Structure 1
Amino acid sequence: MNQPVSLRDTPIGFIAKLRFWLENYFGIEGQGSTLRREVIAGATTFLAAAYVIVVNPDINSAAGIPFSAGVTATVLVSFLGTLAMALYAKNPILIAPGMGINILFAYTMVVGAKIPLQIALGCVLWGSVIFTVLAFFNVRQAVIDGIPASLRNAISCGMGLFIALIGLVNAKFISADPFTVVHAAPFNPIILTFLAGLMVTIALVARKVPGALILGIIATTLMAIPIGRLWGDATAYWPEGAASVTLVNWSGLFAAPDFSFLGQVDLLGSLRLEYLPYIFVLVFTNFFESLSTFLGISEAGNLKDADGNPRNIKQSMHVDALAALASAPLG
């Protein structure tokens, strides 16, 4: 005789329980949002920040870290940090390597100052230790409390302009110029893709289409494939050794993670007196770079408490610090 099947034991029942837990744990409805909107926002955030998975390892490869190992470290730090930010701090903020401190590490310390790679990673680790101590003793929160609301709004605008600049550079729309700092790049398939995708995204946002950003990213990706395959000669835009015949190429869907640089840190060697200034600079850069980013996101996303301060700030600072602490050992 067949036994009746409870709805709770079916996939539909599991999804219902998961939905109930998510809405109650994160207080989604209380924040004026919906689960559907949060899923779309999460996917949009991932697609908007996915460039870090490639750009960060590419920058660190100049210091001698294998690209595949850099990808593994970037993904792990971002995944674990973002997961902790969600479950512990309950803030919809993505954690990822900063696009300023990695340049400081790779080009200033290793390439420029000729600091051995393992010692440079040791400097990063000690800087992260100090950074973590400052976070757990609420020094960063004290700094935030001392920043007036008008300056927080200005930081939000500044972060928006900085992100826009990164986008223009990554799209090859502008490039460096020794006289005017930046200049417009000549028209090419990359810029064609960028402009077409930008126009589509602007139109979707202007018409207030739900999920406009993620739809714009998808549309741009679909346009980039034929443009890059048919008209894009990558050797015209990147060094010949790093480029291929076409801009868009298929190189496989799966790859095993590379842990070859796991734990490659010289803790004692990095404590030599000559390296202490670099540790200080790393702490200073990490402190204010992450602080300005957090304030900008909190203002732009209205992630504030009843007093107008960034919500769950203490927990968020803890997560950010621990993610930084894990970055050096992971490579």
Structure 2
Amino acid sequence: MLQKLFGFDPKKMNLKTELIAGLTTFLTMSYILAVNPDILGSTGMDKGAVFTATAIASAISTLLLAFMAKLPFAQAPSMGLNAFFAFTLVQGMGYSWQVAMTAMFVEGIIFILITFLNVRELILNSIPMNLRYAISGGIGMFIAFIGLKNAQIIVSDPATFVKFGPFTPVSLLAIIGILLSGILIIRKVKGALFFSIIICTIIGIPMGVTEIPKNFIPVSLPHSMAPTFCQFDFSQIFSLDMAVIIFTLLFMNIFDTVGTLVGLASKTGVMQKDGQIPRVKEAMMSDAIGTTIGSMMGSSTITTYVESASGIAEGGRSGMTSFTTGMLFIVALIFSPIFLLIPSAATSGALVLVGVFMMDSVSKVDMTDMSEALPAFVTMIMMVLTYSIADGMVLGLLTYVLVKVATGKFKDVSITMYVLAVLFILKFIFA
């Protein structure tokens, strides 16, 4: 039965190993249960409701992946897309979180359709490889910058825009968290980011950063999702800005998921000789369904987590690993008081280290060809300086098309890129 449900082959696999692998994956990625409510809560969303939505959406998408794709991977809200939601759509562009969540919902529906129709490769292949690497690196820099800003390590300055902030209990705790996260990862501690967050939360108690409410109880019934459930606002959905936003969400989700699936599949040894991943369509579909259901509950876009590699390293090879991880997300629901106790400063280490992980892609950018290097550089630096993932992507794509056309390299630009360039120019003209 386990083989039929999860692809578990008792002749080649060990049940205990699969269960330990699932636990390892959960510990490695469970920091999202603290970080996602903190990031989405900055938009005015109810943190308790977001925590419940995050745990349930992660559980649903990971369990779907276990049954449908039978691969040892796990899914949860994307660290890049939750930042895009909170800091670009809401704080940067001024949309309400209800409008932003509507965009997430529509993107999820479109993702389901393009996965069903097998056109995701067409969209993905229209974006040059160097820009894909740059987008990943730029998002990493942006996430790290958010962590430093939220912890008051970097503060605003009227003369220089930003500067190194003063030492306060909040910034000191964040610095401890960054160093501790790095040290634990270097020492190969399983669940390094999770344990760093918990340790910093405890350290923050005598520092006055972690505030423990009266009559605190570490376990409780899950928080109601009523404040965020299906709180959609379709009033802005047909604007040009929203079309660009939905495309950006869609591309980021496809790129993030496909890239992670390829990397993880190579680690498990399931990748076929022609580079194809078995049941990849089912893996993408579980992501798309999870994103759609998650947005209905009040969580940002779901993606496959690279942290799944920790479970694979422990020997996880089947859907039994992801099934274990998914069930642990359900168990985590009763520990919401602990996760909601965690201050922003304690999560800064996780944000900065996730940024470091994502910067790995920068080494793959071709810096010997200026027509490739310049658009990549514009993409990365403008994400940080404009405080917008979308603006960084748009400016990078426009730079790519303009530079290639001006230097006579027309064939390097796909038809899709030309169409996007026209849409982006119209967006700036009519914005």
**Normalised by the size of structure 2, how large is the TM-score?**
0.53
Correspondence 1:1-331 to 2 at 5 A:
21=2, 25-28=6-9, 34-142=14-122, 188-192=172-176, 194-196=178-180, 198-203=182-187, 205=188, 212-214=189-191, 220=196, 224=200, 227-230=203-206, 232-234=207-209, 244=211, 252-260=218-226, 261-267=228-234, 269-271=235-237, 273=238, 275-300=239-264, 302-303=267-268, 304-306=270-272, 307-331=274-298
Instruction: State the Cα deviation string for residues 145-202 of structure 1 (Å, max 9, x = none).
Output: 8999x98x979x9699779959985996975788799979968345445545643553
Give unmatched runs, 5+ long, in structure 2.
299-431
Q: Is the 8 A contact 1:171 1:194 kept in 2?
A: no
Q: Shift of residue 103 of structure 1? A: 2.9
Provide the identity percentage: 24
Highest Rg: 1 or 2? 1
DSSP-derived class of the 1:283 partner: helix
**Normalised by the size of structure 1, how large is the TM-score?**
0.67
Give unmatched runs, 5+ long, in structure 1.
1-19, 206-211, 235-242
Match of 1:9 in 2: none
Q: Shift of residue 79 of structure 1? A: 0.9
- Aligned pair in 2 of structure 1 residues 298, 164: CA closer, same or farther (>3 Å)? farther
Q: Is the 8 A contact 2:123 2:251 kept in 1?
A: no
Instruction: State the Cα deviation string for residues 210-231 of structure 1 (Å, max 9, x = none).
Output: xx514x568657754663444x
Q: Shift of residue 136 of structure 1? A: 1.1
Q: Shift of residue 137 of structure 1? A: 0.9
- Aligned pair in 2 of structure 1 residues 197, 104: CA closer, same or farther (>3 Å)? closer
Distance 2:152 2:125 in 1: 38
Q: Is the 8 A contact 2:104 2:246 kept in 1?
A: yes
Residue identity matched to 1:213: K
Q: What is the RMSD computed on CA atoms of the aligned residues?
A: 4.4
- Aligned pair in 2 of structure 1 residues 270, 188: CA closer, same or farther (>3 Å)? closer
Distance 1:82 1:146 in 2: 29
Instruction: State the Cα deviation string for residues 115-138 of structure 1 (Å, max 9, x = none).
Output: 344333333322222222111111
Instruction: State the Cα deviation string for residues 263-313 of structure 1 (Å, max 9, x = none).
Output: 22234x244x4x343243223333334423432353245244223333321
- Aligned pair in 2 of structure 1 residues 28, 171: CA closer, same or farther (>3 Å)? farther
Q: Is the 8 A contact 2:27 2:190 kept in 1?
A: no
DSSP-derived class of the 1:213 partner: coil
Instruction: State the Cα deviation string for residues 18-45 of structure 1 (Å, max 9, x = none).
Output: xx72698423567x65333332232222
Q: Is the 8 A contact 2:80 2:143 kept in 1?
A: no
DSSP-derived class of the 1:288 partner: helix
| Number of aligned residues | 288
- Greater Cα shift, 80-89 or 280-289: 280-289
Residue identity matched to 1:305: M
Q: Is the 8 A contact 1:130 1:283 kept in 2?
A: no
- Greater Cα shift, 90-99 or 290-299: 290-299
Q: Is the 8 A contact 2:90 2:97 kept in 1?
A: yes
